[in-house]
Amino acid sequence: MQSPIVTIMTNDLEASRNFYEKILDFKIDCEENFPGVTLLFMHKDHFTLELVARKEKLSLNAGNTFILTLITESFDDIKDKLSKNSIKDYKEITLPSGVQMLRFLDPSGVTISYVKENTLKQK
């Protein structure tokens, strides 16, 4: 089975690259420059992320219908990275089922959600 690829459009490739690399620990695979567009491929574990930046700025409405959810053992490391990068606008949420989440936005307005693995019910 191949890893899933999520594509995110961004108007600020450098800010998005820094966010995913420094805060979410994605590693850069390659960057491809074409006339009018740059594609940046990154990975974390078995997950591939493609950042797409057009040279001509777009009116983006990202983040309204898309949430990138990752599973973690603890929020401590990610909260530390958010703090070190001056990102203070995050929310800790506990659902009625007991699932614990940490939510914040990337530079393009995409919602990032971390879920504590030990709060997910095993079936």
pTM strictly above 0.85: no
Digitized pLDDT (tens) for each residue of the chain, 123 residues in all:
355 678 888 889 999 999 999 999 999 998 988 888 898 999 998 888 989 888 876 665 554 557 788 889 999 999 999 999 998 899 999 987 788 999 999 988 888 989 898 888 754
pLDDT at 100 (0 to 100): 92
Question: Which domains are present in the chain?
Answer: 5-119 (3.10.180.10)
DSSP 86-112: T----EEEE-TTS-EEEEEE-TTS-EE
pLDDT at 56 (0 to 100): 77
pLDDT at 1 (0 to 100): 38
Instruction: Please give the Cα distance from 27 to 42 (Å, whole number).
Output: 5
Instruction: Please give the Cα distance from 11 to 78 (Å, whole number).
Output: 24
Strands 47-54, 67-72: pairing is unpaired
pLDDT at 64 (0 to 100): 53
pLDDT at 4 (0 to 100): 65
